Amino acid sequence: MYRIIVTSFLGLLLFFPALLLAQNGQADTAKTLLYRVSGNGLKTPSYLYGTIHAICQDDLQLHDSIFSVLPQCKSLVLETNSDDLEPMEMIRLSFMKGDTSLKMLLSEAKLKEIETFFKKELNMPMNGEARFKPILIGTMAMTVLVDCPMSQIASVENVLSIEAKKYKLKTQYLESPEFQLNVLDSIPYMEQAEQLYHMIDHIDDSKKAFAELTLAYQNMDLQLIDSLMLNDIQGLAKEPSILQNRNYAWVAKLKGMMAKEACFFAVGAGHLAGEESIIQLLRKEGYAVEPVLKP
């Protein structure tokens, strides 16, 4: 369970890549999640692919061109690898700092609603004594949004990893799980807790929004995802540490990796849209970043 939590650490943002799309201007109008990066001295092109971290197996449809460009690359580059973290260290980093618990952040009535939700929907205990960072609790809660059993939830990253092994690509990572968990400490715990409550209190709306976003992701329509969430942005998505700061740090790493060899970068779809997206930052650095459309 703890590895599942860490792998999907962004919680409220995990199922909603559009939360990250809507804040920085228009998304790319091309209906694709796959982009080719070339020029600026690169000997061979690399590729960017926008992922969704959890989706029903029946809803997962990868871009057809992936299977032709992946063999051209030397490395598959993902966001993180939770297996790098020892279980006890994972638990320690998942806790809020100090002796902070959920009951210090929310009213008794709100805590009761959260407790009832977890018992009814997930058959799991959850009370005010919980010390997990609220955004991680939100990750567990939001598994109810996926319209299939847990055993049928797929990860784009896992599928890509299997394909990469077929072509003997090595796998690299942009961030450590320690870094990802520590990022959450930059978001006030009170804000995280209120977002957790808001999601549970409006669970029917969240289910509907997720269904719409899943369809938009299937259609590879970043612009539609952007418009769906434009007027429904949650505060956590606006935190620079969640998106913009990481994009700048990643671009610096991407430049070095691409200079050495052809890479296939798979990151959350939200990192590919907006004025401070990976795509735009690479273009500002002089690279040609072009959409790869379905054949």
Count of alpha carbons within 13 angstroms of residue 40, beta-carbon side: 18
**In DSSP terms, which residues pair with 37 in a beta bridge?**
46, 289
Give residue 230's pLDDT: 47
Residue bearing the bigger pLDDT, 276 or 239: 276
| pLDDT interval class at 31 (50, 70, 90) | confident
Residue bearing the bigger pLDDT, 257 or 210: 257
CA separation for the pair 8, 145 (Å, rounded) = 14
Burial profile 32-47: b = 16 or more Cβ within 10 angstroms, e = fewer? bbbbbbbeeebeebbb
Q: Which two tokens stand for residue 243?
A: 């998106």
| pLDDT interval class at 239 (50, 70, 90) | low
Which residue do the tokens 């092109």 mark? 45
CA separation for the pair 132, 138 (Å, rounded) = 10
Q: What is the DSSP string of 207-232?
A: HHHHHHHHHHHHTT-HHHHHHHHTT-
Lowest mean pLDDT among 64-73, 159-168, 235-244: 235-244
| pLDDT interval class at 295 (50, 70, 90) | low
Collapsing DSSP states into helix, strand and coil, what is residue 50?
strand
Q: What is the pLDDT of residues 158-171, one digit of tens each?
A: 899 999 999 999 99
Q: What is the DSSP string of 129-160?
A: T--B-HHHHHHHHGGGGSSS-GGGEE-HHHHH
User: Which contacts qualify for 114-119: CB closer than 8 Å, 24 or more apart?
Assistant: 114/141, 114/196, 114/197, 114/200, 117/141, 117/200, 117/203
Q: What is the pLDDT of residues 102-137, one digit of tens each?
A: 999 999 999 999 999 999 999 999 988 899 999 889
Residue 54's closest CA among 9, 2, 92, 98? Answer: 9
Q: What is the pLDDT of residues 243-294, one digit of tens each?
A: 788 999 999 999 999 999 999 999 988 788 777 889 999 999 999 999 998 7
Q: What are the domain boundaries of the chain?
A: 2-291
Q: Quick one: CA dihedral 64, 69, 71, 76, positive or negative?
A: negative
Q: Which two tokens stand for residue 200?
A: 């549970």
